[in-house]
Amino acid sequence: MSPSAVSGRNLNLVEIQERHFGPAHLFRLAGKCFSFVESTYKYEFCPFHNVTQHEQTFRWNAYSGILGIWHEWEIDNNTFVGMWMREGDSCETKSRQTKVHLACGKSNKLAYVSEPSTCVYSLTFETPLVCHPHSLLVYPTLTEALQRKWDEAEQLLYDELITDQGYKKILKEIFEEAGLLKATEENEVEKQSKKITLEFETVEKCSKEYKQLSEEIKKLRVLLGQHGIAYKGNLAGNSSVEYVRHQLATAVASVLNGSKDDEHLHGDTGMWNYTL
C-alpha cells in the first residue's frame, strides 16, 4: 500500500494555471498525480484537477469514476487547510465530493483515504511544501487592493464598528473576489442586484435615464392629445409615465364602451391598432 507519484496525464497546464489561486509555491504540484491503494481500490489525486477512484477487481460492474473536480479552497482561521474537489460522478441524489487535507510530510504523497459519509470522501495529502509555518497563510496571496480591504475590515472590527459576524462576511467576500472560494448561487443573485442598483449611482446614468423617461412621457402626452384627453400634471407625481399610461388606458376603455358614433372620434381610426 505504498503511495506513488505518477506524471499527470492529459492535463492542460495552462488551464490549470488559470484556475489556480492561492499559494504560488503549491502550483509546482500541478500536472502531477499521486496514487494510493487500499484494499481493492486505487485512488488518484491530481492537484488542481481531480480525484478519481478505480476498483481493481474483476467484477463486471466494478466502479471507476471521478470523486470530485477542483473547485475551491478550504480556509480556516485565515489559513489554507485543504482543497475541495466537488461535482464528481452522481451518487444517488447528489454528486460525489472530496476534501483533501494538506499536511506536512517529508515527500509528496497521498497518505490516507476515507469516506466519512456516503459519497463524501476525505483524503490526506502530505507534502514538504506546507511545512513552513507561513506557507499556507491567505493574506500574502491576495492583491494589494484586497489586502487593504482586509486591513480596513480589521480596523472596523477593532473599533467595534462591525461585529465578528460582519467581519467574517467581509473576509468571505474578499476570498470570493480573489477566486479562492466559489460564490454561492444566493450570493450571485445578490451581486447582480447590487450591480443593477449601482447603475443609477452616477449623475450621468441618472440623467440618461431621466431623459429616456421624459421622452416617453412626451410621446404619451401626444397620444392623449390626439384623442382629446386633457393632460394635467401636478406636484403629486401624476406626471409619471405610469399616470399618463393610465389616462390613455382610461380613454381607450371609454371609447370601447361608448356608442358607434364615438368610435371614430376626431376621425382617428388608427387608435385600435396602436400598441404601447
Each residue's pLDDT tens digit, 168-179: 999 999 999 999
Q: Which residues contact 146 (CB under 8 A, 6 or more apart)?
A: 174, 177, 178
Sheet holding 32-38, edge to edge: 4-7, 32-38, 41-46, 50-55, 64-76, 79-86, 97-104, 120-127, 109-117
CA distances in angstroms from 44 to 15, 49, 55, 64, 86, listed in the order given: 20, 11, 12, 11, 15
Positions of the chain with pLDDT lower than 70, given as ranges: 1-20, 59-62, 185-206, 227, 229-276
CA–CA separation, 13 and 9 (whole Å)? 11
Q: Say which amino acid occupies 99.
A: K
Q: What is the pLDDT of residues 262-271, one digit of tens each?
A: 443 333 333 3
Please provide residue 20's backbone torsions phi and psi, each rounded to the nearest 5 degrees. -90, 120
